[in-house]
Chain A
Amino acid sequence: MAKFIRVNMTDLTVDVSTVPSEYSKMGGRGLTSHFIFNEVNPECHPLGPNNKLIFAPGIVTGTAAPSSGRISVGAKSPLTGGIKESNSGTPFSQSLARLGYKAIVIEGQPENKKDLYLLKVTEDDAELIGANELEGKGAYETVTSLNEQYQDSDVCCIGPAGEKKMTMAGICFNDPEYRASRYSGRGGLGAVMGSKGLKAIVVEKGGCLIAPLDEDVFRAGQRKLVEGLRNHGVTQPGGTLNAFGTAALINVLNQAGGLPTRNFREGVFEGAEKISGEHMAEVIKERGGAGMTGHACHPGCVIQCSNVYPRPDGSDHVSCIEYESAWSLGANLGVDNLDQVAEMIRICNDVGIDTIEAGVALGVAMEAGLAEFGDGEAAIKLLKEIGKGSPLGHILGNGAGFTGRAFGVVRIPVVKNQAMPAYEPRAVKGIGITYITTPMGADHTAGYTIAPEILGVGGQLDPLDPKGKMEISRAFQAVTAFVDSCGYCLFITFATTDIPSATEGMVETVNGVLGTEYTPDDIVEEGLEILRLEKTFNERAGFTHKDDRPPEFMRYEKLPPHNHVYDVPDEELDEVWNF
């Protein structure tokens, strides 16, 4: 039977027991959101003793299913004040699953708020160990030192931002080479971990591949899904995700007029080429050394869209430059120098903050006049303030919304106080519906309508036309909630959207593991059930339809080059939840 770890940080006890039966068929986001719904008072302070933090590998994580090494982290978010699930691809998730753990729950809060602890998880047990020696350490040093101390283990930790309970703090996991680079970045979950006095978790590697209940069903599904991923133009070996990483989207969104530029003032960035995936791949090839494209965030990924970006001397600068980070710390700041962008991502990884929230907060700070747009060195200096914990660093470290209010800025691109990602809603109307209505706060991954609106995956829609987008956003949000529960990387959905047998394969792997009989038609209903819970939690936390609205400036400021405002009516936004 799968196991469940409960760590009580108030009395510093750890309980390892059989997973409660109600959660036995769940995983990933389905599990974290059900758990938060069941056990966390929606009105609690997110950084107080009554919030709970839960880590859960996906349903198929730890099996031989392709690209399935995701871990979901859930809690009440200190950034949004609502429910949060943020997931990451990392060997940590596979190790936890293979040791037989369904979830780790962190609850309570130590009496002495200054003490830090580490949770050590082995096949049979888990224990809390004092870790005051790690106070103030960056994520790079923390992962490296814990990797030396606890060999053959995977690591999860927070950086200084999490310790200081800043609301842009994320939770870091190691990649296969023990870089501090894989993040459950969004929503301030690192601050929740910091509020519990938990600096790190180490999970012993070991255990073997999880044996499905029905091996034949699982194997058949696995084959179909692998075939779909290998035959789809986007995910195939040597395809654009593999060869250029997600940053290949920089030029696409720029051509679509939907690349938010200089704090969402424009939709086209003149320096896009210099921060693009194409340019990044060229630099990696030229500099050689540690640089590589086609890097995997966890073993068993067949897509391998990550990368290692080298310094001019070939040494490892950062992993990885992905689309969101290249945009948030590049185009959004008017910065077209990829080495400066790489340095900013490295700082974010080390301080332990979300690159999206950090980039948007810096954009708002530039709007306020703290630095000039385009001045990468000034942006690096501002970012360093967060790690230092200076008063300015605390303002920036609490996100784009907080920074905007601190400096009297009106153009603040947030929904539910969470920064918008790299797609301009005024140029791509459907993704705006997802940003505005998802219970998570502005989040592109919650319902990636960019696929049919821009990329021609699952159809080809006019991104500027709001008609019909509500239904698409809702359906994508539902499917995503299911995929996030499986532990699959969201990028498998490019293949599953276009190739019906790949969808069958995904569902069959789940059935093989759980012994269930889901059909592809059941996915949406399963996902809607998770969305209902999340929405209800938020309503109990005080959210109303007024929180499902775009930032006001997007209603009256026209975005060049298309010169559209955000014109999806309020009634249409509310209709997302009419199911």
Chain B
Amino acid sequence: MVRVEISLFATLRSYHPQGRDRGSEGFTLKVESATTLAQIYDTLGIPPEEVKMNFVNNRHQSPDYQVQEGDKIALFPPIAGG
């Protein structure tokens, strides 16, 4: 098992395990080693099409990235601006 820290942003905050009101708080998840980001979406009940950007330790990663102990994961829906 590995532990990862997860933060959800914008509309994805409604998928926070402790409810939308806790959406701004990060949380720790314990998962099997070699778990992918896509599997984490599934665990959290996030439809994969709602996730546009994954950052792991400040770097972009694709949904098939396999998480490692201590990873800091940030998930975003489509966002833009200027």
Q: Which residues of A are at the interface with B, using a C-beta cutoff of 8 A? A: 232-235, 239-241, 243-249, 251-252, 255-257, 268, 273, 277-279, 282, 305, 322-324, 444-445, 448, 451, 454-457, 460, 462-463, 490-491, 494, 561-562
Instruction: Say whether A244 contacts B10, CB under 8 Å.
Output: yes
Considering the chains assembled together, what is the distance between the CA atoms of A241 and B53 in angstroms? 15
Q: Which residues of A contact B58 (CB under 8 A)?
A: 255-257, 268, 561-562
Q: What per-residue 1/0 map shows which CB atoms of B1-38 lie under 8 Å from chain A?
A: 00000010111010000000001100000000000000
Q: Which residues of A contact B23 (CB under 8 A)?
A: 278
Closest to B58 in A: A257
Given A241-B81, A324-B82, A455-B79, are A256 and B10 neighbors across the interface (CB < 8 Å)?
no
Closest to A422 in B: B82
Instruction: Say whether A248 contacts B81, CB under 8 Å.
Output: yes
Tell which of A246, A248, A457, A463 has the most Cβ of chain B within 10 Å: A248
Closest to A460 in B: B60
Contact of A240 among B24, B77, B82 (CB under 8 A): B77
Q: Which of B48-82 contact A (CB under 8 A)?
A: 52-53, 55, 58, 60, 74, 76-82
Nearest 5 CB-CB pairings of A with B: A246-B81, A233-B78, A255-B55, A257-B58, A234-B80
Closest to B76 in A: A252
Q: Which residues of B contact A240 (CB under 8 A)?
A: 10-11, 77-80
Instruction: Say whether B60 contacts A462, CB under 8 Å.
Output: yes
Instruction: Say whether A233 contacts B82, CB under 8 Å.
Output: no
Q: Which residues of A contact B24 (CB under 8 A)?
A: 273, 278-279, 282
Q: Which residues of B are at the interface with A, using a C-beta cutoff of 8 A? A: 7, 9-11, 13, 23-24, 52-53, 55, 58, 60, 74, 76-82
Instruction: Say whether B81 contacts A278, CB under 8 Å.
Output: no
Given A256-B55, A279-B24, A462-B60, are A239 and B81 neighbors across the interface (CB < 8 Å)?
no
Q: Which residues of A contact B7 (CB under 8 A)?
A: 255
- Chain B nearest CB from A170 CB (Å) reads 16
> 17 A-B residue contacts at CB 8 Å?
A232-B78, A233-B77, A233-B78, A234-B79, A241-B79, A241-B81, A248-B79, A251-B74, A251-B76, A252-B9, A255-B58, A255-B74, A256-B60, A268-B58, A451-B80, A456-B52, A456-B78
Closest to B78 in A: A233
- Chain B nearest CB from A369 CB (Å) reads 30
Instruction: Say whether A456 contacts B53, CB under 8 Å.
Output: yes
Considering the chains assembled together, what is the distance between the CA atoms of A273 and B53 in angstroms? 17
Instruction: Say whether A445 contacts B82, CB under 8 Å.
Output: yes
Instruction: Say whether B74 contacts A455, CB under 8 Å.
Output: no
Q: Which residues of B contact A246 (CB under 8 A)?
A: 81-82
Q: Which residues of B contact A451 (CB under 8 A)?
A: 80
Instruction: Say whether B60 contacts A243, CB under 8 Å.
Output: no
Instruction: Say whether A241 contacts B10, CB under 8 Å.
Output: no
Instruction: Say whether A243 contacts B10, CB under 8 Å.
Output: yes
Considering the chains assembled together, what is the distance between the CA atoms of A280 and B60 in angstroms? 25
Considering the chains assembled together, what is the distance between the CA atoms of A343 and B21 in angstroms? 27
- Chain B nearest CB from A234 CB (Å) reads 4
- Chain B nearest CB from A38 CB (Å) reads 30
Tell which of B7, B58, B74 has the most Cβ of chain A within 10 Å: B58
Instruction: Say whether B81 contacts A323, CB under 8 Å.
Output: yes
Considering the chains assembled together, what is the distance between the CA atoms of A255 and B54 in angstroms? 9
Contact of A251 among B9, B11, B60, B82 (CB under 8 A): B9
Inter-chain contact total with CB atoms closer than 8 Å: 91
Considering the chains assembled together, what is the distance between the CA atoms of A251 and B9 in angstroms? 8
Q: Which residues of A contact B74 (CB under 8 A)?
A: 251, 255
Instruction: Say whether B79 contacts A252, CB under 8 Å.
Output: yes
Tell which of B7, B9, B80 has the most Cβ of chain A within 10 Å: B80
Tell which of A241, A255, A268 has the most Cβ of chain B within 10 Å: A255
Closest to A562 in B: B58
**A255-B58, A256-B55 known; 14 other A-B pairs, CB under 8 Å?**
A233-B77, A234-B78, A235-B80, A244-B79, A252-B76, A255-B7, A255-B55, A256-B60, A322-B82, A451-B80, A456-B52, A456-B53, A456-B78, A490-B82
Considering the chains assembled together, what is the distance between the CA atoms of A273 and B11 in angstroms? 15
- Chain B nearest CB from A483 CB (Å) reads 12
Contact of B53 among A232, A235, A243, A455 (CB under 8 A): A455
Instruction: Say whether A448 contacts B53, CB under 8 Å.
Output: no
Considering the chains assembled together, what is the distance between the CA atoms of A257 and B74 in angstroms? 12
Tell which of B53, B76, B81 has the most Cβ of chain A within 10 Å: B81
- Chain A nearest CB from B16 CB (Å) reads 12
Given A561-B58, A562-B58, are A248 and B10 neighbors across the interface (CB < 8 Å)?
yes
Instruction: Say whether B9 contacts A494, CB under 8 Å.
Output: no
Q: Which residues of B contact A448 (CB under 8 A)?
A: 82
Tell which of B7, B52, B78 has the most Cβ of chain A within 10 Å: B78
- Chain A nearest CB from B32 CB (Å) reads 25
Q: Which residues of B contact A234 (CB under 8 A)?
A: 78-80
Q: Which residues of A contact B77 (CB under 8 A)?
A: 233, 240
Given A233-B78, A240-B80, A252-B79, are A278 and B60 neighbors across the interface (CB < 8 Å)?
no
Instruction: Say whether B81 contacts A247, CB under 8 Å.
Output: yes
Q: Which residues of B contact A248 (CB under 8 A)?
A: 9-10, 79, 81
Instruction: Say whether B81 contacts A322, CB under 8 Å.
Output: yes
Instruction: Say whether B52 contacts A305, CB under 8 Å.
Output: no
Q: Which residues of B contact A323 (CB under 8 A)?
A: 81-82
Contact of A491 among B10, B53, B60, B80 (CB under 8 A): B80
Given A248-B10, A255-B55, are A444 and B80 neighbors across the interface (CB < 8 Å)?
no
Contact of A249 among B11, B52, B55, B79 (CB under 8 A): B79
Given A255-B74, A273-B24, are A457 and B80 neighbors across the interface (CB < 8 Å)?
yes
Considering the chains assembled together, what is the distance between the CA atoms of A277 and B11 in angstroms? 11
- Chain A nearest CB from B15 CB (Å) reads 14
Considering the chains assembled together, what is the distance between the CA atoms of A460 and B55 in angstroms? 13
Q: Which residues of B contact A244 (CB under 8 A)?
A: 10, 79
